[in-house]
């Protein structure tokens, strides 16, 4: 199994997608791998750290999305996103992310992502508020059931360095996605994360449960981190062997 690597390998060819991820809050819980295994695409198994796999609730601001090497798309390429993600490995031990849901406040972005990349984006009313060192994200899905999420944190100047768990949760250079009967992997690259400790002020979330992870319930998260952000580029997806 490949070790966790905090540096991405350069992409081959022109990126199919580039984005600036701004003001990310990483909220994570330990979860039994047996609960997560049925939720992963075919050929992907839960990735484990310290005896558990992990589920992440990650709100942030998407900025300057560009598709197929083009220019950033004004207005439609910038929005607030809240995603629920899992951690998996393919048969060769390559580590990646599996998104269970991605709330986005721009309908055009939802339709493009679902059509071109088979990503489970859903339209939501999502926003962010900033006041000094406090960052608050709110989201409510515009669909039956209308699951919602509220995440508020106080950021700090305590930088996270040489932390194996933080690397496990954030240094991910593949995205696994199901397209029809097949599983695809999509590589990505970005600069090393600048991560900081964050204090959770408020959390009221329905999205993790709506994504099929019942065990988290109302318990406190096991890790809360903050990053100012990175510019991310994705390569062309390929089918798993």
pLDDT along the chain (241 residues), means of 10: 62 86 98 98 97 98 76 68 98 96 92 90 97 97 94 98 96 94 94 96 98 94 97 92 69
> What's the pLDDT score for residue 68?
66
> What's the pLDDT score for residue 2?
47
Rounded Cα–Cα distance for residues 76 and 106 (Å): 6
> What's the pLDDT score for residue 53?
98
> Is residue 240 a contact partner of residue 183, using CB atoms and an 8 Å limit?
yes
> What's the pLDDT score for residue 113?
87
> What's the pLDDT score for residue 39?
98
> What's the pLDDT score for residue 14?
83
Domains of the chain plus CATH, in order, are 17-239 (2.40.400.10)
Rounded Cα–Cα distance for residues 131 and 136 (Å): 9
> What's the pLDDT score for residue 65?
76
Rounded Cα–Cα distance for residues 200 and 151 (Å): 8
> What's the pLDDT score for residue 144?
86
């Amino acid at each position: 199994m490949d070790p966790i690597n905090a540096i991405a390998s350069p992409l081959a060819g022109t990126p199919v997608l580039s984005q600036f991820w701004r003001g990310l809050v990483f909220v994570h819980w330990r979860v039994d791998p047996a609960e997560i295994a049925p939720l992963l695409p075919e050929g992907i198994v839960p990735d484990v750290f310290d005896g558990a796999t992990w589920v992440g609730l990650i709100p942030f601001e998407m900025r300057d999305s560009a598709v197929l090497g083009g220019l950033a798309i004004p207005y439609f390429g910038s929005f607030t996103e809240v995603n629920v993600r899992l951690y998996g490995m393919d048969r060769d031990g390559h580590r990646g992310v599996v998104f269970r849901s991605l709330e986005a406040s721009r309908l055009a972005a939802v339709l493009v992502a679902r059509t071109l990349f088979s990503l489970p984006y859903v339209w939501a009313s999502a926003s962010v508020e900033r006041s000094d060192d406090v960052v608050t994200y709110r989201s409510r899905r515009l669909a039956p059931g209308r699951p919602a999420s509220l995440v508020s944190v106080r950021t700090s100047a305590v930088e996270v360095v040489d932390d194996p768990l933080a690397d496990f949760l954030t240094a991910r250079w593949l995205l696994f996605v199901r397209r029809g009967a097949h599983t695809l992997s999509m590589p990505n690259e970005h600069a090393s994360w600048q991560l900081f400790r964050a204090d959770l002020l408020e959390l009221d979330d329905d999205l993790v449960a709506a994504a099929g992870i019942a065990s988290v319930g109302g318990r406190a998260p096991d890790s809360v981190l903050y990053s100012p952000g990175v510019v991310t580029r994705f390569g062309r997806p390929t089918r798993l062997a």
